[in-house]
Amino acid sequence: SGPEEMWRSSSPVGGGEYLRLEVPPATVRSGAPRFYNMEPTPLAVDLDGDGAEEVVVPQNQIPGMLAVVFRGPAGVRFQQVNSGFEGMITGLGAIRGEDNEPPTLLACVVHFTGLFKSAGESQIIMTAQE
């Protein structure tokens, strides 16, 4: 019958359908370019040092927003966080901290340009410990 659904968020996450990667015709047999939608991948990382990994997912409906899913003794908790990144988050990564330090987070952020926001540039941003 399949796996049992334990929990479902009421807020949408991801949202990369308007970020499209074009594969030029030179690399495609049909002669026409192909487009692939970019959907960000969730990141599992221990953010608070309690030994349990939280799940972090970009919420690209609003630029810079992240969804964090915590699992604890009271169940599953969903929290929206403004990352402060000014743009659409297309990728996340983490480097484990040393000696109970929080992890360093890395994000790939697209900054759109132009009136229709049809072009832009990507940047890799790394958080710093305070």
Q: Give me the pLDDT at residue 28, please.
A: 57
With CA atoms as reference, report the closest residue to 102 among 126, 122, 130: 130
**25 compared with 51, residue with greater pLDDT:** 51
With CA atoms as reference, report the closest residue to 123 among 82, 84, 89, 83: 89
Residues 86-129: tens digit of each pLDDT: 888 989 999 998 887 889 999 999 888 877 777 788 899 998 77
Question: Across all residues in the chain, what is the average pLDDT?
Answer: 85
Q: Give me the pLDDT at residue 55, please.
A: 96
Q: Give me the pLDDT at residue 16, please.
A: 64
Q: Give me the pLDDT at residue 67, please.
A: 94
